[in-house]
């Protein structure tokens, strides 16, 4: 199966890839609100730590392999961060300094996550910037070098309240550093189809930058990459979202059981599904008719990469039909495609109403396929509460700007 993102132009892909990174970051704005309700602030922090520890080493290694990012040094760690849904460009405005191949610093001139959490009070800021970040930064660095450690120079709660940069961290690689313990549930996610999925390699002959093997850049200009590289990036970012969700479901299931995991997982999916549709539609300047809906669905991370979901989307003049194989790898993993059935259509309803609030779905089984028929009603439907919760994030209306891409050298 080919990638659906190959249907887009190079220019459209350069717009879409950072959008997918940002939407991946906002998954937690959807999921963690419901996790707090179920397990409290401390339980939410435990879930957040485990999901990122499980997912980020796997997807970081995948992206490194896809874009031929070599090495095990500081530069390699920083390149991985630039292509991680945990650090979408500009919204999480990471700046980097490289002292040598084993020492460096990064800081955030703007942190969208902090902007979302600061109004909730210092206990939530401490939970995010201390309790969660300490183990998860090390887990991300672990994907490149098990002896890398990320340690704070300063971090929130901010003193003074408008301190910029909002935080700063050192990264040190030292053989004396003891690698962090492997989370007990690592084998579960490492054995997933998402972790092992093979995708088409980047074509080195395509026009534009085919890899990220050269110098570390201050900011990635996605327009500089080839169409082939951008297609692979888009598919990998979608897999990051599926892997993070699998980690989230594992962590919630461990604390609340299967029924709780399905309930919170569906709420998480609903919130991010609707917001992602809205951002994709706006980013690509699409309309609100059935042709636009089909395009948004084809590009939505819930249904990509195509070899993972095997979702078929067909547009008609008065409807769109989505056919989902119940034997696809995504369903087998228990990822987002597995969370929709005839009795649970909330996420799909939110997704289609992100294009037009009049759209609704009718879902039924057809052999080993789930078929969703999307039509239009006379009156608009209200926005789902799960989408409204996710819209609390400043990322919901965030706009990307133009940046220069400057090589960073050893200071």
Every domain of the chain and the residues it spans: 4-244, 288-396
Phi, psi for residue 312 in degrees, rounded to 5: -105, 130
Tell me what the mean pLDDT of segment 157-163 comes to.
92
8 Å CB contact between 390 and 275: yes
Q: What is the pLDDT of residues 9-43, one digit of tens each?
A: 999 999 999 999 999 999 999 999 999 999 999 99
The percent of residues in the chain predicted with pLDDT above 90, rounded, is 94
Residue 1 predicted with pLDDT over 80: no
Q: Helix 74-82 vs helix 27-66: angle between axes, to the nearest 10 degrees?
A: 130
Between the two ends of the chain, the Cα-to-Cα distance in Å is 46
Per-residue pLDDT band at 411 (split at 50, 70, 90): low
- How many residues are recorded in the chain? 411
CA proximity to 162, closest of 128, 111, 127: 111
Per-residue pLDDT band at 288 (split at 50, 70, 90): very high
CA proximity to 158, closest of 116, 114, 95: 114
Instruction: Report pTM.
Output: 0.97
Q: What is the pLDDT of residues 328-373, one digit of tens each?
A: 999 999 999 999 999 999 999 999 999 999 999 999 999 899 999 9
Tell me what the mean pLDDT of segment 154-165 comes to.
94
Bond before 146 cis per omega within 30 degrees: no
Tell me what the mean pLDDT of segment 48-58 comes to.
96
């Amino acid at each position: 199966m080919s990638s659906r993102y190959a249907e887009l132009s190079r220019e459209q892909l350069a717009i879409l890839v950072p959008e997918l990174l940002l939407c991946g970051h906002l998954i937690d704005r959807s999921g963690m609100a419901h996790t707090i309700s179920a397990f409290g602030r401390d339980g939410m922090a435990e879930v957040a730590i485990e999901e990122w520890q499980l997912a980020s080493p796997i997807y970081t290694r995948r992206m490194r392999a896809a874009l031929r990012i070599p090495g095990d040094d500081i530069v390699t760690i920083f390149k991985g961060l630039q292509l991680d849904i945990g650090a979408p460009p500009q919204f999480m405005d990471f700046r980097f300094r490289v002292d040598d191949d084993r020492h460096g610093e990064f800081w955030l001139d703007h942190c969208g996550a902090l902007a979302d959490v600061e109004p909730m009070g210092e206990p939530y800021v401490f939970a995010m910037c201390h309790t969660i970040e300490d183990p998860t930064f090390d887990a991300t660095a672990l994907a490149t070098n098990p002896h890398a450690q990320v340690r704070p120079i300063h971090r929130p709660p901010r003193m003074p309240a408008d301190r910029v940069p909002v935080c700063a961290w050192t990264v040190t690689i030292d053989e004396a550093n003891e690698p962090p313990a492997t989370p007990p549930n690592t084998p579960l996610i490492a054995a997933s189809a998402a972790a092992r999925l093979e995708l088409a390699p980047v074509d080195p002959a395509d026009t534009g930058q085919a890899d990220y093997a050269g110098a570390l850049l201050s900011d990635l200009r996605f327009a500089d990459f080839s169409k082939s590289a951008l297609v692979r990036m888009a598919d990998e970012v979608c897999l990051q979202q599926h892997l993070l969700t699998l980690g989230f479901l594992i962590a919630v299931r461990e604390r609340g059981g299967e029924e709780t995991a399905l309930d919170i997982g569906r709420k998480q999916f609903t919130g991010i599904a609707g917001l992602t549709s809205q951002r994709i539609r706006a980013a690509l300047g699409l309309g609100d008719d059935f042709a636009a809906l089909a395009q948004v669905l084809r590009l939505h991370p819930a249904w990509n990469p195509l070899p993972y979901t095997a979702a078929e989307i067909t547009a008609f003049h008065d409807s769109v039909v989505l056919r989902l194989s119940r034997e696809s790898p995504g369903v087998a993993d228990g990822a987002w495609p597995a969370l929709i059935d005839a009795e649970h259509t909330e996420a799909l309803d939110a997704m289609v109403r992100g294009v037009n609030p009049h759209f609704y779905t009718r879902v039924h089984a057809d052999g080993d396929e789930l078929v969703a028929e999307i039509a239009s009603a006379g009156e608009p439907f209200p926005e789902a509460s799960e989408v409204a919760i996710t819209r609390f994030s400043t990322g919901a209306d965030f706009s990307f700007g133009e940046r220069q891409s400057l090589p960073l050298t050893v200071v």
